[in-house]
Amino acid sequence: MPGAGGRMAAGGFITDDGRRALRSLLPPFVYAVFLMAIPLATVVVVSFQIRGAGAGEWLDGALPGPVATALRVMVLLYAVTLPLAFGLIARRGGAGRIFRFLLVAAPLWVAALWLSWSYLATLGFGFGNYVSVFTDPINIRGAVRGGSWIPGLLPRSLFVSVSVTAATVILAYPIAYFISFRVAPENKSLWIFLITIPFWTSYLIRIFLWKVILGYSGVVNTALTGLGIIDEPLTFILYNVNAVIITLAHAYAPFAILPIYVALEKIDRSLKEASRDLGEDRLTTFLRVTLPLSVPGIVAAVLIVFIPTIGDYVTPELVGGSGGLLIANRIQSLFLQVNDPGLGSALSIVTMAAVGIVSLLFIFALRRWLRRA
């Protein structure tokens, strides 16, 4: 009934059109729940298994029988309850809100708790993995080796990610500004297209090429020695943190440019004119009008670069050298080489938490600064 849309359905808190929207959004949402929320919850459970449990047999699938059954039952429970619960939400009228909420939440909680309990009861529950994360020097604490301080992998990864983010966003801002304010409107989408092309071309190949460009006898060094600018090839640009930062800043460039560009496009052009008419020069107009108005784009750019860069283990491995390895490499080797899923899971959770905290601190600090300004 097309005309019925927009009116509140009897007894419901959702309109007919809203219900259609919900029905349409359900399949991708349920899929994301299955392949993202449930796996992440399982990682949390695995991180609390007793230190060393399940190691060694991780990839052979040789799980204790009851645990495996419990895990499969959980998936089945989720499979039945989730669509059912959402179906009930989408239905006209019916039970009250609290009842509906219980229908959505209760089976999930029961399933999750029962599963976690039976899984951990078999393998043993403990905080050993987290203790190991926080006490083992390699992860967070760092150590003194050969007279010099070697920081832990997590602080170093956060530092690299912050540097990559700063470099990417600061380099990207003028480009976004240029496209938004200097390029003729009919050429804008061509520029945006040009900027996204490198991003869509093979990621591994690009890393290999940075190796070639930055290497000892690479493009940069042969060009610079050929021009007589330097005598000795530069060695500080490959197999260390600098190379990781350059490669990642290249890889995430469009992610930084596009949100800033979108924010700049939204700025009313007459505001700039008004500022100029009121006697501000070009620089103060930028600082007091354009820059503050583009802050939402900057925030989006920072987050969309900062959060994913922490999860890259290929760039550090290929261009970072022995000293350039980061937290993602450690997690990768814990799962695929060392066979210690418990510790790997705990480290993943702690990494996610650290990334979340740094992001929140950034947003909080920015907000305070904006309020003061």
Partner 1 sequence: MKFPALRIYAIIYLVFLFAPILLLPVFAFNEGKIIAFPLTGFSTRWFEALWTRPALHSAVQSSLLIAVLTSIFATVFGIFAARGGALADYPFKGSMIGFIMLPLVLPEIILAVALLVLVTKVLGLAPNLYTIVLAHTLMCTPYATSILNGAFANLDQSFEEAAMDLGESRWSAFRLVTLPLVMPGIVSAMLIAFIISLDEFIVAFFLSGNVTTLPVYIYGLRRQSDQLPIIMALGTILVALSIVLLIAAEYLRRRGLRRAGLEDSGGFL
Per CB under 8 A, contacts with partner 1 among 309-338 are 309-314, 318, 328, 331-332, 335-336
Task: Closer to partner 1 by CB, 105 or 143: give it.
Answer: 105
* Nearest-5° Cα angle at 119, 116 to 124: 105
Query: 354-373: which residues touch partner 1 (CB under 8 A)?
Result: 355
Closest-CA residue to 328 (of 153, 182, 190): 153
Query: 39-58: which residues touch partner 1 (CB under 8 A)?
Result: 39-40, 42-43, 46, 58
Torsions phi, psi for 320 (to 5 deg): -85, -15
Q: Which of 35, 105, 121, 363 binds partner 1 (CB under 8 A)?
A: 35
Task: Closer to partner 1 by CB, 96 or 146: give it.
Answer: 96
Q: Which of 85, 140, 167, 304 binds partner 1 (CB under 8 A)?
A: 304
How far apart (Å, rounded) are the C-alpha atoms in residues 264 and 293?
Answer: 8
Stretch that binds partner 1, among 106-114, 148-156, 213-221, 287-295 (CB under 8 A): 213-221
In the complex, least distance from residue 306 CB atom to partner 1, rounded to whole angstroms:
9
Task: Closer to partner 1 by CB, 143 or 360: give it.
Answer: 360
Task: Closer to partner 1 by CB, 74 or 241: give it.
Answer: 74
Q: Is residue 257 within 8 Å of residue 175, measured between CB atoms? A: yes
How far apart (Å, rounded) are the C-alpha atoms in residues 179 and 190?
Answer: 10
How far apart (Å, rounded) are the C-alpha atoms in residues 297 and 301?
Answer: 6
Closest-CA residue to 42 (of 342, 317, 274): 342
Q: Which amino acid is at 47?
A: S
Q: Which of 92, 109, 117, 222 binds partner 1 (CB under 8 A)?
A: 222
Q: Does the CA dihedral 93-94-98-102 come out positive or negative?
A: negative
Interface with partner 1, residue 129, by CB under 8 A: no
Q: What is the 3-state composition of the chain as percent helix, strand, coil, each rounded to the nearest 5?
A: 75, 5, 25
Q: Which of 96, 98, 144, 217 binds partner 1 (CB under 8 A)?
A: 217
How far apart (Å, rounded) are the C-alpha atoms in residues 74 and 195?
Answer: 45
Strand partners, 125: 49
Task: Closer to partner 1 by CB, 143 or 223: give it.
Answer: 223
Task: Closer to partner 1 by CB, 48 or 177: give it.
Answer: 177
In the complex, least distance from residue 123 CB atom to partner 1, rounded to whole angstroms:
11
How far apart (Å, rounded) are the C-alpha atoms in residues 183 and 161?
Answer: 31
In the complex, least distance from residue 144 CB atom to partner 1, rounded to whole angstroms:
28
Interface with partner 1, residue 193, by CB under 8 A: yes
DSSP for residue 184: -
Binding to partner 1 by CB under 8 A, coded x per residue (else -) over 152-171, reads -------------------x
Q: Which of 4, 11, 20, 357 binds partner 1 (CB under 8 A)?
A: 20
Indicate the helix (H) or strand (E) that contains 173: helix 153-181
Query: 58-97: which residues touch partner 1 (CB under 8 A)?
Result: 58-59, 61, 63, 68, 71-72, 74-75
Residue 330 CA: distances (Å) to CA of 235, 238, 279, 334: 26, 21, 56, 6
Q: Which of 4, 11, 31, 117 binds partner 1 (CB under 8 A)?
A: 31
Q: Which amino acid is at 35?
A: L
Query: 247-266: which residues touch partner 1 (CB under 8 A)?
Result: 250, 253-255, 258, 261-262, 265
In the complex, least distance from residue 145 CB atom to partner 1, rounded to whole angstroms:
26
Interface with partner 1, residue 209, by CB under 8 A: yes
How far apart (Å, rounded) are the C-alpha atoms in residues 41 and 217?
Answer: 47
